[in-house]
Structure 1
């Protein structure tokens, strides 16, 4: 029986028309004043079928509510008229307001006592306040400054700060108000002992991520940066950094760091596609914390029609784990293109260190074995290759940046005297540049250049030679299909590389963008650059997974070839 009754009540409720609130008309003011009058008016929330006595009781308070609603904006002497009527359908209340002249500030006495009086952060806060003699009294300005002083004090380590006097005196009849804010900052505390509440990783690793010095002045921005660095490390799942003011020693406050571990093991699976390599599959495994010293292990498996490979890395954090680490690597790859075949095994060591202005410097030493076929060149090489690499990436955001750049420089080489099958030295430079202008316009540019000098070019595997053509090179041409040729007309690659690209992107609708581009350059020997040119149009979709690009490239410099479609997924930089 109760279930049937509930069902009937629900049916009746669904069939009833929705409740309509009484109409409130506000004239004489607009904007924030009007909105506040409506917010204070209790009658506005009553439905049309409310009891007459309730409506009239609400109406009797309407004038007072309207006056109260105007006071935060400095209007203490308004003329307010109200009326109430009813037609066949609903009540209608009207408020007519003449706000009159606002109350203005007469005396403004704002004072900071203690060390904070010379703190630039507080000086900037006081210089920016709207509380000045002659200004209209806005309660929000008073409350905002009062709250801001307290927040800044907590952020800057003035943990004993308090108001010795805070008053807002208003004389509505005279149209004047006085502000008194006396703020005693007390001492600025400094960072004391750093206490860790965790037992799963070496405390020295945690300290390496903090960049906090005992004795330094407390600053919440430093604490926030330490929090971000700890979070980015992938070691920690829950993080708290708390100043222990109650146990401060003198003017030094201990920091209590409470950490919970993040999941050590991560698995990743992904699919993608490009016209260079066809459909591709990727799977990854990460152990982010092998031991208490914070060692990590990564492995990635990738497979496509053109390239198959497996890479592993064992990484050891050094003194500053955010900026410096040592790693050992091992990799296998097999690449089969229309130009060459190359099977490679490689082991190596790397020392990576972050330097100023977001530069990463990597010193490496790789030992590799490569079996390859390029044209008539068939060989198996052994090499020990030291290298130094500099890479910098700067952008306003990682995905869909409006402006940014990426710069890279690499120098590597080897010699037969250290056990390699060949001798060579090589330098490479790459640049990517993005700049937005106007509304919905973006310019993308890139440059790839390289120079190689070797004792015998025929001994160099494809991983050392330069080729051009493809999605990330010269569109309109097949992947790695451009470069010097042998006597049979087969592309064998070159000593040098110079490829440049310029692309204009225009917003179309929603997450879709149109593009036009021109690419030019080639791989070449000596100074014999025979530049190939590709140009075309494209469309881009900013998908939830990242940008997806589809281009139609025309081989401008070789009219005998057909246009080529290029599909690419991945970041712009």
Structure 2
């Protein structure tokens, strides 16, 4: 029997333990025994080899977490299955086990444990039972807690001294390992890394940890932490340098990128710039870096490594939706029209409800960010109770900002309805302005923030008679935080309430023949669930469904992350109530209400939404599927 008394408490080599274990694999069976014989023995028995393990390992502790941690990470586990472990080698392993257990316990914050290691022979071993059992009894003792934390940030001084003091205060407020919290090596490393990350994300990309120290009083089970960050110089964005691109106008690409030259460095703004270039369609690959090795930190160049996209691209698509059934599509893109330099995107789409042919031409942005555009659309679509052939021709200018998109344009519409009792064919011309503000935390899968959009137009019908009209459409959406849901692994996600409102109106003489493309219909996946696509509209004299002059839509949805047995998932549950109404007179608006529940999945290609909605007036149950998010 082997018995080793507990070693006195001390400060272990916390930071180097895991690295040392990895480096010693295949090199030595024990620290301090790097001879080739030991290296040759540190190999586990093949899975198909016969015979029992060299020994069994039995870890005993009143603390389940300690027992599981030691059973998983003790170095003895590496040698249990050695095919020919000699008694002398086993004795040396046991001699090192005490220090190994103390090092492991220290990473959990236990610095004065009582450890007893014994080697017991199996009374009657057989071919399937190890001849020995190594028993490790552990009384971890008091767990060390944080007594104090000292965080300091220093840099180049001067004009940045006030900002460094403010950032230091922010780090202290958000420090992840506050006084009285249990000390673990993992939490200590994570807290330091989190603080460094906060500095590097904004203004100080070259910040580093200059010094860190954890002074542990094992007798008092208290730890005093200190970390000193060297911020390095404060950086500002300089010019954008595009490398690797030859096909497209570099100055035009810089205007698309909208790098905030002259502003303080921000990792978020750098990634936003990269995303704008990547989604522009002019490049197949984009990677942006701040060139901290050259130039003045107050005007640091940003280098964009790019790979040009083909001049032309043809994409065929096949899809299906609950609103319009199977869908076939073809998109052709020409990134630089000869003689004009504009981009042309031509689309052909065919589904159960619609047949579409369109082309949209867009110029590169000017120095002020505005760009010219024009477009033509030919469409046959099921609109209410009729099939409508329509055309739309528009031309104008548009501007996209970090949060706000604007456009103004002239538009010509024609509409011809088919069917018994269909309204007369009509056409109109209008001048329009649209404004969209997006203030969400994420453009593709938001969980916080709000958005507001408005479209305003004034025009006149051209046939069968001339009648002036005004048209307005407003949309609003907001996410309200309802508290955090524990997802496991120290991860929390918010439960939230999603609110959505939409309203539209067309003001004109009662008998004016407004093109149906300027009127309103609602219902479907993104408006009022529980009802078919654009199945909520106004009724004309013979009871047929048609577009109306007034529309209101409202939605309230509770979204909550889903955990499975305390483990995080990428799914969320949803419960909702939608309501919408369309009519030709405000007093005739009568709400159609849908209620239901759904599932959300954060898929690699975007948020996937599946909802089961029940229409209270239609008394029908409908499945609604949607991929992606737009506002």
Partner Cα distance (2:511, 2:376) in 1: 26
Q: After superposition, what is the alpha-carbon deviation per residue over 1:298-324, rounded to whole angstroms, capped at 9, x for unaligned?
A: 222222344222121112232479x75
| Map of 1:524 onto structure 2 | 584
Equivalent of residue 320 in structure 2, options 269, 272, 275: 272
SS of 2:398's partner is strand
| Map of 1:462 onto structure 2 | 516
| Map of 1:94 onto structure 2 | 135
Which stretch of structure 1 is more off in the superposition, 60-69 or 437-446? 437-446
Which stretch of structure 1 is more off in the superposition, 401-410 or 174-183? 174-183
2:379 is aligned with 1:333: yes
SS of 2:392's partner is strand
400 and 204 in structure 1: CA distance in 2 versus 1, 3 angstrom threshold: closer
| Map of 1:5 onto structure 2 | none
2:135 is aligned with 1:81: no
2:76 is aligned with 1:47: no
33 and 296 in structure 1: CA distance in 2 versus 1, 3 angstrom threshold: farther
Question: Shift of residue 372 of structure 1?
Answer: 3.4
Question: Shift of residue 58 of structure 1?
Answer: 1.4
Give ranges in structure 2 of 5+ residues lacking alignment. 1-44, 486-493, 565-570
482 and 84 in structure 1: CA distance in 2 versus 1, 3 angstrom threshold: same
2:126 is aligned with 1:66: no
| Map of 1:239 onto structure 2 | 286
RMSD of aligned C-alpha atoms?
5.0
| Map of 1:429 onto structure 2 | 474
Partner Cα distance (1:125, 1:490) in 2: 65
| Contact kept in structure 1, 2:384 and 2:537, CA below 8 Å | no
Question: Shift of residue 333 of structure 1?
Answer: 1.0
| Map of 1:569 onto structure 2 | 625
Question: How many residues are aligned here?
Answer: 549
Partner Cα distance (1:288, 1:359) in 2: 25
SS of 1:317's partner is coil
Question: Shift of residue 365 of structure 1?
Answer: 0.9
2:617 is aligned with 1:555: yes
Partner Cα distance (1:396, 1:314) in 2: 31
Partner Cα distance (1:37, 1:300) in 2: 62
| Contact kept in structure 2, 1:382 and 1:420, CA below 8 Å | no
535 and 441 in structure 1: CA distance in 2 versus 1, 3 angstrom threshold: farther
Q: After superposition, what is the alpha-carbon deviation per residue over 1:66-110, rounded to whole angstroms, capped at 9, x for unaligned?
A: 223334456555432210113221232122234456789999876
Q: After superposition, what is the alpha-carbon deviation per residue over 1:150-181, rounded to whole angstroms, capped at 9, x for unaligned?
A: 66666544749784x76667787998988776
SS of 1:570's partner is strand
Equivalent of residue 415 in structure 2, options 370, 374, 380: 370
Partner Cα distance (1:503, 1:215) in 2: 41
460 and 154 in structure 1: CA distance in 2 versus 1, 3 angstrom threshold: closer
2:398 is aligned with 1:352: yes
Given the two structures, how large is their TM-score scaled by the length of structure 1?
0.74
Equivalent of residue 485 in structure 1, options 540, 545, 567: 540
| Map of 1:281 onto structure 2 | 328
Equivalent of residue 301 in structure 1, options 348, 360, 370: 348
Partner Cα distance (1:127, 1:514) in 2: 34
Partner Cα distance (2:384, 2:406) in 1: 34
Partner Cα distance (1:95, 1:300) in 2: 71
SS of 2:588's partner is coil
Partner Cα distance (1:210, 1:242) in 2: 14
Partner Cα distance (2:574, 2:225) in 1: 57
Question: Shift of residue 329 of structure 1?
Answer: 0.5
| Map of 1:8 onto structure 2 | none
Partner Cα distance (1:509, 1:132) in 2: 28
Question: Shift of residue 41 of structure 1?
Answer: 2.9
117 and 424 in structure 1: CA distance in 2 versus 1, 3 angstrom threshold: closer
SS of 2:255's partner is helix
468 and 181 in structure 1: CA distance in 2 versus 1, 3 angstrom threshold: closer
Partner Cα distance (1:129, 1:478) in 2: 50
- The 5-angstrom pairing of residues 308-319 of structure 1 reads 308-319=355-366
Equivalent of residue 342 in structure 1, options 374, 382, 388: 388
Partner Cα distance (1:402, 1:185) in 2: 32
381 and 217 in structure 1: CA distance in 2 versus 1, 3 angstrom threshold: closer
| Contact kept in structure 2, 1:311 and 1:330, CA below 8 Å | yes
SS of 1:95's partner is strand
| Map of 2:20 onto structure 1 | none
Q: After superposition, what is the alpha-carbon deviation per residue over 1:202-250, rounded to whole angstroms, capped at 9, x for unaligned?
A: 3323433555455554444443343333333343333343444444458
- The 5-angstrom pairing of residues 135-214 of structure 1 reads 156-157=203-204, 159=206, 163=210, 185=231, 187-192=233-238, 194-200=240-246, 201-212=248-259
Which stretch of structure 1 is more off in the superposition, 490-499 or 333-342? 490-499
Partner Cα distance (1:267, 1:399) in 2: 22
| Contact kept in structure 1, 2:461 and 2:514, CA below 8 Å | no
Q: After superposition, what is the alpha-carbon deviation per residue over 1:386-418, rounded to whole angstroms, capped at 9, x for unaligned?
A: 112234556666778667766443222323699
Partner Cα distance (1:442, 1:126) in 2: 29
Equivalent of residue 223 in structure 1, options 247, 266, 270: 270
Question: Shift of residue 349 of structure 1?
Answer: 1.1
Q: After superposition, what is the alpha-carbon deviation per residue over 1:414-462, rounded to whole angstroms, capped at 9, x for unaligned?
A: 2369998543222233456676869899877655543333346353332
Give ranges in structure 1 of 5+ residues lacking alignment. 1-11, 557-562
SS of 1:208's partner is helix
